[in-house]
Amino acid sequence: MNSPHKALQHEGTPENWMPMLELACREVFEIMLGCGLELATQPGDPPKEFTAMVGLAGQLCGVITIRCSAASAALIASKMLGVDPAQAGDQMWDALGEVCNMIAGNFKNKVTGMSEGCMLSVPTVITGEDYSFHSLADGGLLELPFNFENAPLVVALEVHS
Amino acid sequence: MKRIRALIVDDSAVMRKIVERSLRQAGLDLSEVREAGNGAEGLAAIGENSVDLILCDINMPVMDGIEFLRQLQSNQKARGVPVVMITTEGSESHVVQALSVGARGYIRKPFTPEQVKEHVIPLLEEKK
């Protein structure tokens, strides 16, 4: 019988996880926001005005982050709540954190064995551009540059070896 | 269908609003919606006048959804009230654990209003 750990070993390279991470992102945006995400053909680094992160611990250790501008964070909140972006200001942190949380959960549920063997932290959201992000993850970086309503948005998975 | 009093327990205010909207989109006539940010607040929100339906997250600070379900079992005011979990935790062990301590349904985030309807309406019909 295959143990979850063995199943992870089969799928357990970051290269194999890229399509699952992309699908997890697309599903969350389509289902919860009612809009699609396009992979950016000419990736641009979004302003790091908002960074949401959810930690992964267990069979996979690392962190999933979303980086976007304040305008994109407001748009995410407005689409989730069905209100005008100008009215969504106070909800930006909560909305972006929840989107990151759902992407992390959806992603781990797609990787065989990881659903049982990996726990998620509660989301954290940082605002402001004047900071450096140092993750202890040293096992690889998956980065997906998207266009979200004509603005850059990056989802990244940093893996601890 | 009669008017429904619902309790939504989730540490995200945005998610509580989305769940409420999904209930309305499912056709429920909500007479009252109580909100709580964790399990302990959820128990307090039941108070003396119980509710007809509870929707609850699992991962929350202070008291998580599983402990909330455990404590709910000894709450006379909540006897017979269906609880549906709405959570990012999709593992089989979480589902089994939640169902074993009284949850009647389990919805994984992200979710559609149709999924909420499919899980909630039969429970309310059964309760009539």
Residue numbers of the domain that contains A76: 4-131+139-160
Are A80 and B14 in contact (CB < 8 Å)? yes
Tens-digit pLDDT string for chain A (161 aa): 333 334 344 455 667 889 999 999 999 999 999 999 999 887 667 777 999 999 999 988 899 999 999 999 999 999 999 999 888 888 999 999 999 999 999 999 998 777 788 889 989 999 987 777 776 666 688 999 999 998 899 999 998 86
A106–chain B Cβ distance below 8 A for any pair: yes
Instruction: Report the sign of the C-alpha dihedral through residues B100, B104, B109, B115, in that order.
Output: positive
Q: Which residues of B touch A (CB under 8 A)?
A: 11-15, 17-18, 21, 59, 61, 87-93, 108-112
Specify the pLDDT at position A114. Answer: 79
* DSSP per-residue codes, A45-67: PPPTTEEEEEEEEESSEEEEEEE
* Number of structural domains found in chain A: 1
Nearest to A6 by CA among A104, A114, A161, A159: A114
- Using a CB-CB distance cutoff of 8 angstroms, which residues of chain B are in contact with residue A106? 88, 90, 108-110
B6 and B82 in contact (C-beta within 8 Å)?
no
Q: Which fold has domain B4-120?
A: Rossmann fold (3.40.50)
Closest Cβ–Cβ partner in B15, B90, B112 for A31: B112
CA angle A44, A50, A55 (to 5 degrees): 100
Residue of B nearest to A24 (CA): B110
Phi, psi of A40 (to 5 degrees): -75, 125
Residue with tokens 């909330």: B68
- Using a CB-CB distance cutoff of 8 angstroms, which residues of chain A are in contact with residue B91? 109, 115-116
- Predicted structure pTM score: 0.90
- Work out the minimum CA distance from B17 to partner chain A, whole angstroms: 7
Residue A62, beta-bridge partner list: A56, A159
Q: Return the CATH number at A82.
A: 3.40.1550.10
Specify the pLDDT at position A5. Answer: 39
Instruction: Give the ipTM of the model, two decimals please.
Output: 0.90
Cα dihedral A141→A145→A148→A151 (10° resolution)? 120
Where on the phi/psi map is residue B104: left (φ > 0), alpha (ψ -120 to 50), or beta?
alpha
